[in-house]
Chain A
Amino acid sequence: MKTTHLLSFLCGALAVLGLGMIGQSNAQSPNHVYELRVYHANPGKLDALVGRFRNDTERIFKNHNIHAIGYWVPEDNKDNLLIYIVQHDSKAAADKNWAAFQADPEWTKVRTASEVNGALNDHVDRTFMDPTDFSRLK
């Protein structure tokens, strides 16, 4: 009888501990929302576009909690692309941070100065994405 009680106590304790650990691991790694952005640079403007990100845009992003995890240029780049991925806390945070960035006077100034000879890029393809449950980036 005593052994049975002890066993059921231990099982219960383990179950609680197990559930607690699951809860804890979820709490420690909340999923982010990722945004894949593909910029189609205008002809002859890719270097200027990349230069604007390197010298200015990336710094201004940081002032608005826009966290870019990587920037890339395709090796076979017939479409003149710049590709980057931004990690957001949520879709709502993304919208808020982009709005603040767009309204930033420093960005407006940088953008205007960089486009005296015309816009550096044409359209931007944006894809908001959720990480899979097995994704290394969460």
Chain B
Amino acid sequence: MAAPLPRSDRAILHSMSHVYELRMYSANPGKLDAVVARFRDHVEGILPRYHLKSVGSWIPQENTKNLFIYIVEHESREAAEKNWAAFRDDAEWKKVKAASETDGPLIGSIERYFMDPTAFSALK
């Protein structure tokens, strides 16, 4: 009979299950500040309701593509799809999105990567 795993190994096994999602938003011309403000003032507050864990968000220093970049940590790929669907259906998000886009959409295109951490990654 195998001995029970030490606590640290169990923690590693548990955390190995995370899936990370890199999201790169290309803001429409003149809209980057509005994208960042909408995220700061509203989206950051709505994401946790649906277990969407924002790990970090950044603006490139040389931002020729007008990008806003962030990473979300998920329990699994299935959880990600379920949680994003619930987010899109959130009443506050719908209201905020409509109010912020009276002069047109803020985002032109989104590049997404679902990613698995490598065995030696600090973020698991």
Contacts and interface: CB of A to CB of B under 8 A. Distances in A.
A71 B40 contact: no
Contact of A69 (B44, B57, B69, B123): B123
Contact of A132 (B20, B40, B61, B119): B40
A58 B117 CA distance: 14
A36 B61 CA distance: 11
Interface residues of B, number: 31
A54 interface: yes
A121 B60 CA distance: 24
Please report whether the interface of chain A is mostly helix, strand, loop or mixed according to DSSP: strand
B121 A70 contact: yes
Given A74-B113, A83-B115, A134 B19 contact: no
Interface string B102-123: 0000000000011111111111
A103 B40 CA distance: 41
Interface residues of A, number: 32
A34 B50 CA distance: 27
Contact of A72 (B57, B62, B116): B116
A68 B58 contact: no
Interface string A49-88: 0100110001000000000111111111000011110000
A129 interface: yes
Contacts of A72: 20, 22, 113, 115-118, 121
9 contacts: A36-B58, A70-B121, A72-B20, A72-B22, A74-B115, A128-B60, A130-B58, A132-B36, A132-B39
Given A70-B117, A133-B40, A136-B55, 10 more contacts: A34-B58, A71-B121, A72-B121, A75-B115, A127-B67, A130-B59, A132-B39, A132-B57, A135-B57, A136-B56
